[in-house]
Structure 1
């Protein structure tokens, strides 16, 4: 695989330039110059046209959105070439995903945005220039915005600032800013109806939007309503998703099986067994005299073929239902002052589904729950076939503890269902105005907004470990408790009766909430006239208050929940800020160029949690000639730790990890270290999922960052209104981000590998093993440990062709090349994620590209979009299967993937316009490349379309 090199970048730039050469030759006689068009965009607080293209801003228009056929903001922005891996509805992210170290929860059903592969927490999301509330995931206190809380129907355009902007906007803007501009000047009404589904007949999406607006002489009113329903796609209906790792059968399945896996030592013979009942053995008989694997009783030794395939129970696309109402009113109080008020309510109902919840018990279970890890099963239990106690209690002498693992998956209880109900409220109001000072105009605004995101999650199909322990213990103790029925975990499917399930299977309800109160005031204008123009200024103050909590079910808080345990989290903090921005013209109409402007910005933030922080930004905008602009920025940035990161209590997530001490050892030189750590001879990792305990840290400091960008915008006048072009724009931007003190936990696999390789307490502290060698505890907490360095290039071409008999053609070609991504954690150890690599359900392709061709003729329109994702590689989880493409290097290559989307439309001259549109995304039905290290469904859901991803849709838009 070829890495990004200056040569490769040069080839890309040359490819763009070569498209221009014929036109340059044909139009070289043209000499009339024109100035670059500008639009008001995110990136400066100064209201001045000359500064609007100083920073790289990508604007996604309403037409761009409609062309995609997508029904959520997140899907639109995640398709941008600068976007990284982020949650979306293709992540079936409940079940064993557990609780991440940042305390944000699993984010089930939410959809986020990541820029430059720096994480969703480092992207600031604004709506009409005001911060949007972070999500409440019902499993934590979120650190990022759920874009599914903002209806796509209310969006006029989306402005994406691909540059650090903490000096202008405060915390979280390290990687950039997404500013969602809502519809405002809308006169009349419109209805939009869309229906689509996958070619397999599933995943149907229905969308209905209504908009109404009225523009008066001094007032403006807009009302919008939106409803979207997305039906599921089940893993069982996609061949690629039917096994934990495609092409490996059940090799990576679970030890928790419907028949049960039993690892124990017979106290009478001293023999350790690893057994599972024969199929159909509902009342298995154990013969203690048979000490090996050649048996004639009801058991055989557990083998790979006995593992459970949990994949068919999962979802490839999660169902989601979203309904939103939005209103915005503006009134001109006078010629110089206006009042506005806007409000939004949005409800999201979504569902995740996982396989029936396994019950793991014993010393090697590693659940982190002492009631499961230290279980006692009485010999008097009427279903215990072994005739002796199975004891894993810490109070029992170590030599007498004989239960290492029971893995039983009660399929009788059905799959785990996680239903989320998420409500979002937003109320904002303010005044805007202008006034004159001499001949200069000043602009001002004052704003107040309150937003709230509240989530509830109801979990069906989990178990109460306290009642499980009681029902497995002494039957006399069970009989003394109302409803207790002795439990049969020893027979096969169907041996759990309704009475047994009724006692051990509760309904679990969790909730969380995030609120944001913000008040801002801004002013902008020209201070004085200087030698090259006015010195422009913007300044303002801002105050924000954040509050959030996560309250798990009382069963979970008490430690009785058999699933992923968690603890309550709550916290609050406030911040007061002041900022200034200056634009200083250095020269105009000089031999050195047409114009050179220097911009300076600074912001001081005072946090109640850690104190003050100052960030600055410096920018240069050099208009060499009318058609050629150079720009550069340097910015300091920071991100304050969030409520979950600061106050998150100890929780757990189940990571898919490969234990280096599992035999046969991949590295035989580690044998001595493994013995030192407590892995005995013959140890084999019993379960690929290892429970990792995680949580917040009140001593965290803010992340700090340095960002640099440099680029050019060229609109050659020789091409404008020429025979082959109406207009051509070429933009090239180099970006670099350097984050220090990044808030994260050490990558769990990296920590485990370093522990085994070095025996260093920095890595081994918190990792313990049972007497069998299995890891039974793994602590992985947040700290300011990482540095991240990333850089790359954006190369974009926009070509509008002249009108012809064939119609009007426009082409846009956007490319992002990632040159470096280097993250280092504890002791400077480099983390595995880097360009061209797939790790932990996310990847950084070295090259991503979107090529869009638009065509219009009379009432007809059409669009063809090509989405290209460069190849990435991953480590094979095993080289024993052909699905590993390069076993010699223990590497699997995820081949380059290209998707083609087509759309055609016709506009009728009826009322104010009826537009009928039909389209197909992923026309060629390109399946995503098989991912061996991804957690679910055999592919990276943050990067690729789903398997069997040909999606067709039809839409009708009526204006009246």
Structure 2
């Protein structure tokens, strides 16, 4: 029984399948067939049908090995993240641990990983394939990831990269909403090769070096390729870049932390009934508190806390994270007969990486907002504690708590350091071959894959909040606990002794795992001859099983971790899928041109988590004359919720939020209705936000449209001024409904104050003092995303002259719309030309490659352009950095990077020698200052590090 399709397009696709399959049998009894003509056929990303034509109904950008080498980059992620269609994605410039915590999607922070985003739709909406087969998702060390870590795929094994920027769920299944990145590996080689590379930033350091070794060969029936790769990248401290050495450039200490090495203490003095906000004077080692001295003019060892007392945490962070990767891989193919062969492919990859954050803050009190009873509701700092200078209990217990906030940053314990050890293995094998159906040749393949990625993250520099609670309590009770000594949080830096640290500072170990099991079978060929050519098809079946888990340290599960609490995540699901694809020739050399083809595809997916899903796709390819091609495609797509999104348990991340009610002597009516008292000031810019997966999530759905053309004018072929000229334009549109997301916390806060929207206002609570003490941000199918734009391409090759050959290759993307609607239908602030929270959408971005070759020499000059952006100042328009105070925005100017590479080849030495010298960011351009970006004062997903990156490469074939 054929399952009922969800959409009309899917129903039409399914009907075409039923009509076409009997025709396949009838084709074998045809009275006569034209004489078969053998053509080389290939399978291009975006279609399962093997064809002789490379240009299909959808545009595919192919990055050759030459393009990869010319870029100067040393990782797959760096290459694809610099495509004009790429959006914000994780890379090693993100120091992504510490307060990042656990994002709402349950995938963890992916520390040390690198991903790819297409069309600004998110990395989890891009499908990554290796040789046309899915790759295992990342293990992040702090969650169950839903995107592929491209650092698990060494650059040395890659022959080319094919990028499809169109929806392809009907061809490949879930996740292919924004597009597909298909990494094609080297299958064979004749002899060995050794590639060495070294590079560093001229003013910052950050040395990188590595070596790639490959060897391959073959016989009449077998081919093999083996390789090993090593890569090392040193860290760069944030203190080496001026804009990264402050919390937010241009705002002084206003965005610094209230958790300082000296400590901040907000409490009600029971002897006077007055609430004070104090910090020790500089140099006070044994502060004396005088209860008769209140206000901001004091004669004791304390003064009232102010902006100048805030802590600059930024220099402790990293501008570039260290990473070391080791890989071994191999591939072998054996031909049993001319009609059948087998292959096996294996890879093992190890990564060791680190992230670093400032010494971990300790927040205690009813306003702490960290969702931990040890810190907020069951804490008493005893008057008997020998280090308590106030002479009375400071407590959060009972009906009359008097401790509102104690914020101390124990610099004695050193910075937080997160080290990831990630092991990924991949094994695939299969059979492929051909068979005859009448006089027609059909291709088939069957494949088996098993792969796993496992990460262990070790965290030093954090604290056990339960032990802090015990060490601050009654010394007599502390004495009964093994290792407990009274803790001093009041005396300023240097007063926390090694004995105190030994009791409260653990080593935290977390583990994450993702595994993929896959089996597939495919067949493709020509069914029968039509009036305009053969009707081609592809059909197949695929089974996949996903398994994932995240196991945090036992103290985290028990709620004793002072950092980000989380529970255990564990889940699995499987899917059975069947698809069919047809290429229907409608016209050849007819009244409307030379060629008109229709492509149609459909896929049915049966998930163990939510049931069935049917998607379809239709495309047209029209060539009116030799030199012009028009193409169009319309696709339905979906993305299944991931393990982290489904089964992620309650966890937390610390968001940097600006409370719109803070700072007013008299709150506005909206703020007063929200529970804000007069004189309220936001205590801390970082607000803890609770997140969680949702087992009731349903898949996202998408509709994608692409319309474009390619023109290769004949007047530019092999003439005095041109060898070849290719011009292309493509319009794209993606519309996603039921998008799985958690609302932006800042937007929730602002929407509640602006509109008193019930959903937004119910998402958080305030204390009696106005401080935000609860903020929930749970995943749901509540978003709608609409984006469209244009891609422009131009490639021009000049005839070869005595001075060499010159080639130009230009690509430009223009984003005309990006709308993200929240659960109320209102638009979120993210849109073209705007920077929001480490995620920019430039209206225009482009690259121009100028390539000159003459004999063994080549010179490549690449220009990369990023359009100007603006970002909200969040009400901080009093700062000089907010140059447009009327509109409360900060402008990020347009940025242009210049990359230069000079190469020389000599085939007379050994089997070939290659030498390359290059510099990326030749002019040393600094990234524009960003206020809303989490760390280092700029958007690391959009811009390069400041300064020039110089590199040298040596390749030897033998």
In the other structure, the counterpart of 2:394 is: 390
Tell me by how many angstroms 1:673 deviates: 2.6
In the other structure, the counterpart of 2:735 is: 738
Structure 1 spans left out of the alignment, 5+ residues = 1-36
Within 5 Å, which residues of 2 pair with 1:349-388? 349-374=352-377, 375-388=379-392
- Deviation beyond 4 Å, 4+ runs, structure 1: 37-40
Higher mean alpha-carbon deviation, 596-605 vs 771-780, is at: 771-780
Deviations 1:169-211 (A, max 9, x none): 0000000000000001211110000000000151100010001
In the other structure, the counterpart of 1:721 is: 718
Instruction: Select 1:175's aligned residue among 155, 172, 178.
Output: 178
Residues 232, 316 of structure 1: 8 Å contact kept: yes
In the other structure, the counterpart of 1:22 is: none
Deviations 1:493-526 (A, max 9, x none): 1000000000000000000100000000000011
In the other structure, the counterpart of 1:856 is: 853
Instruction: Select 1:116's aligned residue among 101, 115, 119.
Output: 119
Question: What is the rounded CA distance, in whole Å, between the counterparts of 2:151 and 2:372 in structure 1?
Answer: 34
Instruction: Select 1:778's aligned residue among 764, 768, 775.
Output: 775
Question: What is the rounded CA distance, in whole Å, between the counterparts of 1:893 and 1:195 in structure 2?
Answer: 36
Residues 744, 783 of structure 1: 8 Å contact kept: yes
Question: What is the rounded CA distance, in whole Å, between the counterparts of 2:75 and 2:253 in structure 1?
Answer: 35
Residues 578, 605 of structure 2: 8 Å contact kept: yes
Residues 261, 276 of structure 1: 8 Å contact kept: yes
Tell me by how many angstroms 1:918 deviates: 0.4
In the other structure, the counterpart of 1:919 is: 918
1:876 pairs with 2:873: yes
Within 5 Å, which residues of 2 pair with 1:107-186? 107-186=110-189
Residues 174, 640 of structure 2: 8 Å contact kept: yes
Question: What is the rounded CA distance, in whole Å, between the counterparts of 1:277 and 1:326 in structure 2?
Answer: 59
Within 5 Å, which residues of 2 pair with 1:341-740? 341-374=344-377, 375-393=379-397, 396-397=398-399, 400-664=400-664, 671-740=668-737
Tell me by how many angstroms 1:50 deviates: 3.4
TM-score by length of 1: 0.95
Residues 243, 249 of structure 1: 8 Å contact kept: yes
In the other structure, the counterpart of 1:23 is: none
Question: What is the rounded CA distance, in whole Å, between the counterparts of 1:227 and 1:259 in structure 2?
Answer: 45
SS at 1:49 equivalent: coil
Residues 41, 51 of structure 2: 8 Å contact kept: no
Deviations 1:115-137 (A, max 9, x none): 00000000000000110011010
Tell me by how many angstroms 1:680 deviates: 1.0
Tell me by how many angstroms 1:572 deviates: 0.4
Question: What is the rounded CA distance, in whole Å, between the counterparts of 1:906 and 1:587 in structure 2?
Answer: 48
1:951 pairs with 2:949: yes
Tell me by how many angstroms 1:164 deviates: 0.3
Residues 43, 52 of structure 1: 8 Å contact kept: no
Tell me by how many angstroms 1:40 deviates: 4.8
Question: What is the rounded CA distance, in whole Å, between the counterparts of 2:247 and 2:419 in structure 1?
Answer: 23
Question: What is the rounded CA distance, in whole Å, between the counterparts of 2:267 and 2:801 in structure 1?
Answer: 81
Question: What is the rounded CA distance, in whole Å, between the counterparts of 2:99 and 2:435 in structure 1?
Answer: 58
In the other structure, the counterpart of 2:35 is: none
Tell me by how many angstroms 1:370 deviates: 1.6
Deviations 1:743-802 (A, max 9, x none): 001111111112222333311223111222110110010000000000000000011111
Higher mean alpha-carbon deviation, 132-141 vs 49-58, is at: 49-58
Higher mean alpha-carbon deviation, 633-642 vs 290-299, is at: 290-299
In the other structure, the counterpart of 1:831 is: 828
SS at 2:923 equivalent: coil
Tell me by how many angstroms 1:675 deviates: 2.1
In the other structure, the counterpart of 1:895 is: 893
Residues 391, 401 of structure 1: 8 Å contact kept: yes
Question: What is the rounded CA distance, in whole Å, between the counterparts of 1:186 and 1:168 in structure 2?
Answer: 31
Instruction: Select 2:93's aligned residue among 73, 90, 94.
Output: 90
Structure 2 spans left out of the alignment, 5+ residues = 1-39
Tell me by how many angstroms 1:71 deviates: 1.0
Question: What is the rounded CA distance, in whole Å, between the counterparts of 1:664 and 1:867 in structure 2?
Answer: 45
SS at 2:646 equivalent: helix
Question: What is the rounded CA distance, in whole Å, between the counterparts of 1:710 and 1:188 in structure 2?
Answer: 45
In the other structure, the counterpart of 1:69 is: 72
Instruction: Select 1:212's aligned residue among 201, 215, 232.
Output: 215
Deviations 1:90-111 (A, max 9, x none): 0000000010111000110000
Question: What is the rounded CA distance, in whole Å, between the counterparts of 1:499 and 1:64 in structure 2?
Answer: 57
Question: What is the rounded CA distance, in whole Å, between the counterparts of 1:126 and 1:416 in structure 2?
Answer: 35
Tell me by how many angstroms 1:41 deviates: 2.4
Residues 425, 453 of structure 2: 8 Å contact kept: yes
In the other structure, the counterpart of 2:765 is: 768
Question: What is the rounded CA distance, in whole Å, between the counterparts of 2:678 and 2:55 in structure 1?
Answer: 67
In the other structure, the counterpart of 1:12 is: none
Residues 39, 52 of structure 1: 8 Å contact kept: no
Deviations 1:283-323 (A, max 9, x none): 10001001111111001110000000000000011000011
Deviations 1:848-904 (A, max 9, x none): 000001111111111000000000100114112211121121011100000000000
Residues 44, 51 of structure 1: 8 Å contact kept: no
Question: What is the rounded CA distance, in whole Å, between the counterparts of 1:368 and 1:132 in structure 2?
Answer: 37
Tell me by how many angstroms 1:570 deviates: 0.4
Residues 107, 145 of structure 2: 8 Å contact kept: yes
In the other structure, the counterpart of 1:195 is: 198
Structure 1 residues 310, 201: closer, same or farther in 2, change over 3 A? closer
Tell me by how many angstroms 1:664 deviates: 2.5
Residues 677, 769 of structure 2: 8 Å contact kept: yes
In the other structure, the counterpart of 1:933 is: 932
Residues 510, 552 of structure 2: 8 Å contact kept: yes
1:325 pairs with 2:328: yes
Tell me by how many angstroms 1:51 deviates: 6.4
Within 5 Å, which residues of 2 pair with 1:182-331? 182-331=185-334
Higher mean alpha-carbon deviation, 763-772 vs 70-79, is at: 763-772
Deviations 1:48-82 (A, max 9, x none): 12364321100111111111111110000000000
Q: How many residues are treated as equivalent by the alignment?
A: 916
In the other structure, the counterpart of 1:105 is: 108
Question: What is the rounded CA distance, in whole Å, between the counterparts of 1:478 and 1:794 in structure 2?
Answer: 67
In the other structure, the counterpart of 2:4 is: none
Question: What is the rounded CA distance, in whole Å, between the counterparts of 1:758 and 1:814 in structure 2?
Answer: 43
